Amino acid sequence: MLLSCSIEPSPALPPGTFAFGVFGDGPYRAWEEGRFRHLIKDVNESHLEWLVHVGDIFWYPCTDKNFRRSRRAMDSIQHPVVYTPGDNEWTDCHEDIAGRFQPLERLAQLRQVFFSNPARSLGARTMPLVSQAGDSTHAEFVENARWVRGGFVFATIHMVGSENAKEPFEGRTAADDEEAVRRIEAGVAWMEDAFALADSMNLKGVVIAIHGTPGLYYHPKPRPGFEVFLDRLEVRTKACGLPVLLIHGDGHTYTVDHPLRDRATYEPLPNFTRLETFGSPDIGWVRVVVDTVAGEFVAFEPRVMRRWWLW
């Protein structure tokens, strides 16, 4: 039975701040659906500028029906939703449990369902975005988006789990290998553009959202598929000196820490923060509060839906 209808509301925002939300990696199973509905209600009742969804929108199968169901859930959120794909949506769809789909075919369908208008976010209230689709060199990457708010540049980059789609699988083809190389190249270029924009506009910070866990604790030997990304992230973070926030999912463990290190000294880079959001079986989201005057991330507020919420 449902024992309670709500959790404590988010605290009021101090003057000169704004907040956005982060969610990903769920719901996976039927018994998580009730908590997911409460999560949407909680998000809708919170004062947010937008919600970043870091992918893994379901736990199989990779059907058009599940794509459309997840799209409807995103559009029921009363804030703009900026979504970057996870591996469950396409990379891992070759698995038996997923329906033995061809991953590249699922990626094409994913783009059609969720990114038919890359210049606008998802959600009931949309907002304008700059998409990498506007770059003729990487025009197919409609899912990579960018926007500026409160002196910070925000960018989503399509980098997923399963070693950034480099993990071997039965039936993998040269086309799958080529896709991974090109997508990673496009993602690194999109990140470079975000840092360049921060520099040219004299902004206060950079926020990047991806899906896959890049292996920050093992830097400078990151997980396969993330080597170039982390190399350039380290170089850019050191050079800009601004607060840099990397958001990701995939590991399903809420974490806020500072794991990116200088390869020369192996000392943590003090201006870098990593936020990993919740994931199944925990259905929760994180409210991030940004001080636009000081140019700082002043709060990370975890909001977990109670496990005994059934509907």
Determine the Cα–Cα distance for residues 159 and 22; give it in Å rounded to an integer: 16
The stretches of the chain forming alpha helices (DSSP H) are 33-45, 64-75, 103-114, 161-165, 174-200, 227-240
Give pLDDT, residue 264.
84
Can you tell me the distance from the alpha carbon of 220 to that of 236, in angstroms, rounded to the nearest whole number? 15
| Share above pLDDT 90 across residues of the chain, in percent, rounded to a whole number | 89
What pLDDT, on a 0 to 100 scale, did the predictor assign at position 310? 63
**What is the mean predicted confidence (pLDDT) over 63-90?**
98
- Tokens linked to 154: 């925000």
What's the chain's average pLDDT? 94
The one-character DSSP state at 269 is -
* 222 compared with 26, residue with greater pLDDT: 26
- Indicate the pLDDT class of residue 222, thresholds 50, 70 and 90: low
Q: Name the residue with higher pLDDT: 217 or 88.
A: 88
- Tokens at residue 42, please? 């909680």
pLDDT of residue 52: 98
Q: Which of 55, 62, 54, 58 is nearest to 90 (CA)?
A: 62
Where do the domains of the chain lie?
A: 18-304
Query: Which helix (H) or strand (E) covers residue 49, if one does?
Result: none
Per-residue model confidence (pLDDT) at position 116: 97
Across the strands, what pairs with 33?
Answer: none
Residue 262: its pLDDT value, please?
87
Cis peptide leading into 168, omega within 30 of 0? no
Task: Return left, alpha or beta for 101; rule: phi > 0 is left, psi -120 to 50 is alpha, else beta.
Answer: beta
Minimal CA–CA distance to 92: which of 172, 22, 27? 172
C-alpha span between 161 and 179 (Å, rounded) = 15
pLDDT of 298 higher than 50 = yes
Average pLDDT over residues 207-236: 87
pLDDT digits (tens, 9 = 90+) for 4-47: 456 888 889 999 999 999 999 999 999 999 999 999 999 999 99
CA distance 207 to 136: 24
CATH of 18-304, one of 3.50.50.60, 3.60.21.70, 3.40.1410.10, 3.40.50.300: 3.60.21.70
